[in-house]
Structure 1
Amino acid sequence: MAFNYLYDHYSSALYGVVLRIVLSKEYTEEIIQDVFVKIWNSISQYDASKGRFYTWIINIARNTAIDYLKSKGFQNELKNQTVPDFVYNSKVFSVSNTTDYIGFSKLLEGLETDKLELIKLAYYEGYTHIEISEKLELPLGTVKTKIRNALLKLEDLLKEYK
Protein backbone atom coordinates (compact mmCIF):
# COMPACT_ATOMS: atom_id res chain seq x y z
CA MET A 1 0.00 0.00 0.00
CA ALA A 2 2.73 2.51 0.97
CA PHE A 3 4.85 1.60 -2.05
CA ASN A 4 1.85 2.10 -4.35
CA TYR A 5 1.28 5.55 -2.86
CA LEU A 6 4.93 6.41 -3.35
CA TYR A 7 4.89 5.23 -6.96
CA ASP A 8 1.55 6.85 -7.85
CA HIS A 9 2.51 10.24 -6.47
CA TYR A 10 6.16 10.54 -7.48
CA SER A 11 6.89 8.30 -10.46
CA SER A 12 6.18 10.86 -13.19
CA ALA A 13 8.37 13.54 -11.60
CA LEU A 14 11.22 11.09 -11.03
CA TYR A 15 10.84 9.75 -14.56
CA GLY A 16 11.18 13.27 -15.94
CA VAL A 17 14.32 13.98 -13.92
CA VAL A 18 16.00 10.74 -14.99
CA LEU A 19 14.99 11.12 -18.64
CA ARG A 20 16.47 14.62 -18.77
CA ILE A 21 19.79 13.17 -17.63
CA VAL A 22 20.04 9.93 -19.64
CA LEU A 23 18.02 11.07 -22.72
CA SER A 24 16.72 7.54 -23.38
CA LYS A 25 13.34 6.07 -22.43
CA GLU A 26 14.83 2.57 -22.32
CA TYR A 27 17.54 3.50 -19.84
CA THR A 28 15.15 5.70 -17.86
CA GLU A 29 12.74 2.83 -17.25
CA GLU A 30 15.58 0.67 -15.99
CA ILE A 31 16.93 3.40 -13.74
CA ILE A 32 13.50 4.26 -12.31
CA GLN A 33 13.21 0.70 -11.00
CA ASP A 34 16.53 1.12 -9.21
CA VAL A 35 15.46 4.51 -7.86
CA PHE A 36 12.30 3.15 -6.25
CA VAL A 37 14.19 0.24 -4.73
CA LYS A 38 16.75 2.69 -3.28
CA ILE A 39 14.00 4.93 -1.91
CA TRP A 40 12.14 1.99 -0.40
CA ASN A 41 15.27 0.47 1.16
CA SER A 42 16.53 3.75 2.61
CA ILE A 43 13.26 5.42 3.62
CA SER A 44 14.27 5.13 7.28
CA GLN A 45 17.23 7.42 6.55
CA TYR A 46 15.01 10.32 5.45
CA ASP A 47 15.23 13.20 7.91
CA ALA A 48 12.48 15.81 7.57
CA SER A 49 14.58 18.34 9.47
CA LYS A 50 17.14 18.33 6.64
CA GLY A 51 14.70 18.97 3.80
CA ARG A 52 11.53 18.05 2.00
CA PHE A 53 10.80 14.45 1.07
CA TYR A 54 10.36 15.44 -2.57
CA THR A 55 13.83 16.99 -2.66
CA TRP A 56 15.31 13.88 -1.04
CA ILE A 57 13.83 11.49 -3.62
CA ILE A 58 14.68 13.79 -6.55
CA ASN A 59 18.31 13.74 -5.39
CA ILE A 60 18.22 9.94 -5.21
CA ALA A 61 16.88 9.82 -8.78
CA ARG A 62 19.41 12.35 -10.05
CA ASN A 63 22.37 10.64 -8.40
CA THR A 64 21.26 7.20 -9.59
CA ALA A 65 20.96 8.45 -13.18
CA ILE A 66 24.38 10.11 -13.07
CA ASP A 67 25.94 7.00 -11.52
CA TYR A 68 24.41 4.95 -14.32
CA LEU A 69 25.90 7.22 -17.00
CA LYS A 70 29.32 6.95 -15.37
CA SER A 71 29.12 3.17 -14.92
CA LYS A 72 31.51 0.94 -16.85
CA GLY A 73 28.59 -1.09 -18.21
CA PHE A 74 26.98 1.97 -19.77
CA GLN A 75 30.28 3.27 -21.11
CA ASN A 76 30.99 -0.12 -22.71
CA GLU A 77 27.51 -0.15 -24.20
CA LEU A 78 28.17 3.26 -25.79
CA LYS A 79 31.35 1.89 -27.35
CA ASN A 80 29.38 -0.95 -28.92
CA GLN A 81 26.68 1.22 -30.50
CA THR A 82 26.53 1.94 -34.18
CA VAL A 83 27.78 5.37 -35.23
CA PRO A 84 24.31 6.97 -35.71
CA ASP A 85 23.13 5.68 -32.30
CA PHE A 86 26.28 6.91 -30.62
CA VAL A 87 26.03 10.35 -32.21
CA TYR A 88 22.37 10.61 -31.16
CA ASN A 89 23.09 9.66 -27.54
CA SER A 90 26.12 11.94 -27.35
CA LYS A 91 24.35 15.13 -28.42
CA VAL A 92 25.02 18.09 -26.20
CA PHE A 93 22.17 18.56 -23.75
CA SER A 94 19.91 21.45 -24.64
CA VAL A 95 17.26 22.62 -22.22
CA SER A 96 15.18 24.17 -25.00
CA ASN A 97 15.18 21.00 -27.12
CA THR A 98 14.01 18.59 -24.46
CA THR A 99 10.56 17.94 -23.16
CA ASP A 100 9.86 19.57 -19.84
CA TYR A 101 8.46 16.95 -17.50
CA ILE A 102 8.33 18.87 -14.24
CA GLY A 103 7.92 22.49 -15.38
CA PHE A 104 11.54 23.36 -14.74
CA SER A 105 12.68 24.45 -18.20
CA LYS A 106 10.63 27.65 -17.95
CA LEU A 107 12.44 28.42 -14.73
CA LEU A 108 15.85 27.71 -16.27
CA GLU A 109 15.14 30.23 -19.03
CA GLY A 110 15.43 32.92 -16.36
CA LEU A 111 19.12 32.15 -15.78
CA GLU A 112 21.96 33.92 -17.53
CA THR A 113 23.81 31.75 -20.06
CA ASP A 114 26.89 31.19 -17.87
CA LYS A 115 24.77 30.14 -14.89
CA LEU A 116 22.67 27.83 -17.06
CA GLU A 117 25.82 26.16 -18.37
CA LEU A 118 27.04 25.49 -14.83
CA ILE A 119 23.68 24.05 -13.76
CA LYS A 120 23.60 21.79 -16.83
CA LEU A 121 27.12 20.53 -16.21
CA ALA A 122 26.66 19.97 -12.48
CA TYR A 123 23.10 18.70 -12.25
CA TYR A 124 22.24 17.22 -15.63
CA GLU A 125 25.58 15.92 -16.82
CA GLY A 126 26.99 14.94 -13.45
CA TYR A 127 30.24 16.91 -13.53
CA THR A 128 31.92 17.54 -10.20
CA HIS A 129 33.03 21.06 -9.32
CA ILE A 130 36.62 20.09 -10.04
CA GLU A 131 35.68 18.69 -13.47
CA ILE A 132 33.74 21.87 -14.28
CA SER A 133 36.73 23.94 -13.19
CA GLU A 134 38.99 22.00 -15.55
CA LYS A 135 36.51 21.96 -18.44
CA LEU A 136 35.77 25.69 -18.29
CA GLU A 137 39.30 26.64 -17.22
CA LEU A 138 38.03 28.55 -14.19
CA PRO A 139 39.38 28.52 -10.64
CA LEU A 140 37.58 26.02 -8.41
CA GLY A 141 36.45 28.74 -6.01
CA THR A 142 34.91 30.68 -8.89
CA VAL A 143 33.00 27.61 -10.03
CA LYS A 144 31.65 26.98 -6.53
CA THR A 145 30.62 30.61 -6.11
CA LYS A 146 28.95 30.77 -9.52
CA ILE A 147 27.04 27.53 -8.92
CA ARG A 148 25.87 28.79 -5.55
CA ASN A 149 24.77 32.08 -7.14
CA ALA A 150 22.94 30.15 -9.87
CA LEU A 151 21.11 28.07 -7.27
CA LEU A 152 20.17 31.19 -5.33
CA LYS A 153 18.86 32.77 -8.54
CA LEU A 154 16.85 29.61 -9.25
CA GLU A 155 15.41 29.77 -5.75
CA ASP A 156 14.32 33.38 -6.38
CA LEU A 157 12.83 32.42 -9.75
CA LEU A 158 10.96 29.53 -8.13
CA LYS A 159 9.45 31.87 -5.55
CA GLU A 160 8.29 34.19 -8.36
CA TYR A 161 6.95 31.25 -10.38
CA LYS A 162 4.61 30.15 -7.60
Structure 2
Amino acid sequence: MEQEQLLKELLSKSDRSFTLLYDNYSKSLYAVIFNLIKNREEAEDVLQEAFVKIWNNIDSYNESKGRLYTWMLNITRNTTIDKLRSKGYNNSQKNHSADNFVYMLEDNSKTVNKIDAIGISRFIKKLKPKCIQIIELLFFQGYTQQEASEELEIPLGTVKTQNRNCMNELRTMINE
Protein backbone atom coordinates (compact mmCIF):
# COMPACT_ATOMS: atom_id res chain seq x y z
CA MET A 1 0.00 0.00 0.00
CA GLU A 2 1.27 3.46 -0.86
CA GLN A 3 2.27 5.73 2.03
CA GLU A 4 -0.25 8.40 1.01
CA GLN A 5 -3.15 5.94 0.99
CA LEU A 6 -2.08 4.43 4.32
CA LEU A 7 -1.82 7.92 5.82
CA LYS A 8 -5.37 8.77 4.67
CA GLU A 9 -6.61 5.54 6.24
CA LEU A 10 -4.76 6.29 9.48
CA LEU A 11 -6.14 9.80 9.70
CA SER A 12 -9.64 8.38 9.35
CA LYS A 13 -8.90 6.26 12.48
CA SER A 14 -10.64 3.24 11.00
CA ASP A 15 -10.10 -0.21 12.51
CA ARG A 16 -8.77 -1.35 9.15
CA SER A 17 -6.09 1.34 9.20
CA PHE A 18 -4.65 0.13 12.51
CA THR A 19 -4.50 -3.41 11.16
CA LEU A 20 -2.73 -2.18 8.01
CA LEU A 21 -0.30 -0.14 10.09
CA TYR A 22 0.51 -3.08 12.35
CA ASP A 23 0.79 -5.60 9.50
CA ASN A 24 3.12 -3.35 7.49
CA TYR A 25 5.44 -2.13 10.25
CA SER A 26 5.32 -4.36 13.35
CA LYS A 27 8.16 -6.70 12.34
CA SER A 28 10.66 -3.99 11.49
CA LEU A 29 9.81 -1.87 14.55
CA TYR A 30 10.00 -4.95 16.78
CA ALA A 31 13.48 -5.71 15.42
CA VAL A 32 14.67 -2.23 16.42
CA ILE A 33 13.16 -2.59 19.91
CA PHE A 34 14.50 -6.08 20.45
CA ASN A 35 17.98 -5.00 19.39
CA LEU A 36 17.97 -2.55 22.29
CA ILE A 37 16.04 -4.48 24.96
CA LYS A 38 16.94 -8.12 24.18
CA ASN A 39 13.93 -9.48 26.05
CA ARG A 40 10.99 -10.83 24.06
CA GLU A 41 8.23 -9.93 26.53
CA GLU A 42 9.59 -6.45 27.24
CA ALA A 43 10.06 -5.81 23.52
CA GLU A 44 6.47 -6.84 22.80
CA ASP A 45 5.23 -4.49 25.55
CA VAL A 46 7.25 -1.60 24.14
CA LEU A 47 6.00 -2.39 20.63
CA GLN A 48 2.42 -2.20 21.86
CA GLU A 49 3.14 1.08 23.67
CA ALA A 50 4.82 2.50 20.55
CA PHE A 51 1.85 1.60 18.34
CA VAL A 52 -0.54 3.26 20.79
CA LYS A 53 1.61 6.42 20.66
CA ILE A 54 1.76 6.29 16.86
CA TRP A 55 -2.01 5.78 16.65
CA ASN A 56 -2.80 8.56 19.14
CA ASN A 57 -0.38 11.03 17.56
CA ILE A 58 -0.87 10.34 13.85
CA ASP A 59 -2.41 13.81 13.48
CA SER A 60 0.96 15.34 14.41
CA TYR A 61 2.80 13.58 11.56
CA ASN A 62 4.02 16.10 8.99
CA GLU A 63 4.75 14.61 5.58
CA SER A 64 7.01 17.52 4.63
CA LYS A 65 9.40 16.67 7.49
CA GLY A 66 10.05 13.07 6.47
CA ARG A 67 8.66 9.67 5.67
CA LEU A 68 6.00 8.02 7.80
CA TYR A 69 8.29 5.10 8.62
CA THR A 70 11.04 7.44 9.86
CA TRP A 71 8.53 9.25 12.09
CA MET A 72 7.28 5.93 13.48
CA LEU A 73 10.84 4.69 13.95
CA ASN A 74 11.69 7.77 16.02
CA ILE A 75 8.62 7.27 18.23
CA THR A 76 9.50 3.60 18.66
CA ARG A 77 13.15 4.30 19.40
CA ASN A 78 12.27 7.02 21.93
CA THR A 79 9.69 4.76 23.61
CA THR A 80 12.32 2.03 23.87
CA ILE A 81 14.91 4.40 25.32
CA ASP A 82 12.35 5.71 27.82
CA LYS A 83 11.71 2.11 28.88
CA LEU A 84 15.43 1.39 29.25
CA ARG A 85 15.90 4.48 31.41
CA SER A 86 12.89 3.84 33.64
CA LYS A 87 13.52 2.91 37.28
CA GLY A 88 11.21 -0.10 37.10
CA TYR A 89 13.05 -1.56 34.13
CA ASN A 90 16.46 -0.95 35.67
CA ASN A 91 15.41 -2.60 38.93
CA SER A 92 13.99 -5.61 37.09
CA GLN A 93 17.30 -6.10 35.29
CA LYS A 94 19.30 -6.47 38.51
CA ASN A 95 18.11 -9.99 39.29
CA HIS A 96 18.46 -12.07 36.14
CA SER A 97 18.94 -15.79 36.22
CA ALA A 98 21.74 -17.43 34.26
CA ASP A 99 19.11 -18.81 31.85
CA ASN A 100 18.29 -15.28 30.74
CA PHE A 101 21.87 -14.61 29.71
CA VAL A 102 22.01 -17.82 27.69
CA TYR A 103 18.74 -16.79 26.03
CA MET A 104 20.18 -13.36 25.22
CA LEU A 105 23.29 -14.90 23.65
CA GLU A 106 21.24 -17.34 21.60
CA ASP A 107 18.84 -14.66 20.39
CA ASN A 108 21.58 -12.15 19.53
CA SER A 109 22.36 -13.88 16.22
CA LYS A 110 18.68 -13.72 15.32
CA THR A 111 18.67 -9.95 15.90
CA VAL A 112 21.13 -9.46 13.06
CA ASN A 113 18.80 -11.44 10.82
CA LYS A 114 15.83 -9.30 11.89
CA ILE A 115 17.73 -6.13 11.07
CA ASP A 116 18.72 -7.68 7.75
CA ALA A 117 15.08 -8.52 7.16
CA ILE A 118 14.13 -4.86 7.18
CA GLY A 119 16.92 -4.22 4.67
CA ILE A 120 18.80 -1.54 6.52
CA SER A 121 22.06 -3.28 7.30
CA ARG A 122 23.05 -3.74 3.66
CA PHE A 123 22.81 0.02 3.16
CA ILE A 124 24.62 0.85 6.40
CA LYS A 125 27.53 -1.41 5.43
CA LYS A 126 28.09 0.80 2.38
CA LEU A 127 28.59 3.94 4.50
CA LYS A 128 31.90 5.36 5.70
CA PRO A 129 33.24 3.74 8.89
CA LYS A 130 32.52 6.90 10.91
CA CYS A 131 28.88 6.83 9.78
CA ILE A 132 28.57 3.15 10.64
CA GLN A 133 29.94 3.87 14.11
CA ILE A 134 27.56 6.79 14.75
CA ILE A 135 24.49 4.97 13.43
CA GLU A 136 25.39 1.89 15.48
CA LEU A 137 25.59 3.94 18.67
CA LEU A 138 22.56 6.17 18.09
CA PHE A 139 20.09 3.81 16.49
CA PHE A 140 21.06 0.27 17.39
CA GLN A 141 22.54 0.74 20.86
CA GLY A 142 20.19 3.52 21.94
CA TYR A 143 22.81 6.14 22.83
CA THR A 144 21.78 9.78 22.99
CA GLN A 145 23.83 12.19 20.90
CA GLN A 146 25.49 13.43 24.11
CA GLU A 147 26.41 9.87 25.13
CA ALA A 148 27.76 9.16 21.63
CA SER A 149 29.82 12.35 21.85
CA GLU A 150 31.38 11.15 25.11
CA GLU A 151 31.90 7.59 23.83
CA LEU A 152 33.59 8.77 20.62
CA GLU A 153 35.39 11.63 22.39
CA ILE A 154 34.25 14.20 19.82
CA PRO A 155 32.22 17.41 20.32
CA LEU A 156 28.43 17.12 20.50
CA GLY A 157 28.04 19.46 17.50
CA THR A 158 30.25 17.16 15.43
CA VAL A 159 28.11 14.15 16.36
CA LYS A 160 24.96 16.04 15.36
CA THR A 161 26.44 17.17 12.05
CA GLN A 162 27.88 13.76 11.21
CA ASN A 163 24.62 12.05 12.16
CA ARG A 164 22.64 14.39 9.90
CA ASN A 165 25.10 13.91 7.03
CA CYS A 166 25.16 10.13 7.49
CA MET A 167 21.37 9.92 7.62
CA ASN A 168 21.13 12.02 4.44
CA GLU A 169 23.64 9.72 2.73
CA LEU A 170 21.68 6.66 3.93
CA ARG A 171 18.39 8.21 2.77
CA THR A 172 19.89 8.88 -0.67
CA MET A 173 21.09 5.26 -0.94
CA ILE A 174 17.71 3.88 0.08
CA ASN A 175 15.84 6.09 -2.38
CA GLU A 176 18.04 5.08 -5.34
TM-score grouping bracket, smaller chain normalisation: 0.7 to 0.9
Give the C-alpha shift of residue 45 in structure 1. Answer: 1.7
Match of 2:72 in 1: 57
Q: Does 1:25 align with 2:40?
A: yes
Identical aligned pairs, as a percentage? 45
Q: Does 1:110 align with 2:164?
A: no
Give the C-alpha shift of residue 83 in structure 1. Answer: 5.2
CA distance, structure 1, for counterparts of residue 161 and residue 60 of structure 2: 30
Match of 1:145 in 2: 161
Q: Secondary structure of the equivalent of 1:138?
A: coil
Gaps of 5+ in 1: none
Match of 2:4 in 1: none
Q: Secondary structure of the equivalent of 1:79?
A: coil
Q: Residue 35 of structure 2 contacts residue 141 of structure 2 at CA under 8 Å; is this kept in 1?
A: no
Quick one: which amino acid aligns to residue 43 of structure 1? Answer: I
Quick one: which amino acid aligns to residue 124 of structure 1? Answer: F
The normalised TM-score by structure 2 is 0.75
Give the C-alpha shift of residue 13 in structure 1. Answer: 2.3
CA distance, structure 1, for counterparts of residue 153 and residue 109 of structure 2: 23
Q: Where do 1:1-80 residues align within 5 Å?
A: 1=15, 2-80=17-95
Q: Secondary structure of the equivalent of 2:117?
A: coil
CA distance, structure 2, for counterparts of residue 138 and residue 86 of structure 1: 33
CA distance, structure 1, for counterparts of residue 134 and residue 102 of structure 2: 23
CA-atom RMSD in angstroms: 2.6
Give the C-alpha shift of residue 97 in structure 1. Answer: 6.8
Q: Secondary structure of the equivalent of 2:96?
A: coil
The normalised TM-score by structure 1 is 0.81
Q: Secondary structure of the equivalent of 1:111?
A: coil
Quick one: which amino acid aligns to residue 8 of structure 1? Answer: D
CA distance, structure 2, for counterparts of residue 104 and residue 97 of structure 1: 13
Change (3 A) 1:159 1:44: closer
CA distance, structure 1, for counterparts of residue 127 and residue 109 of structure 2: 12
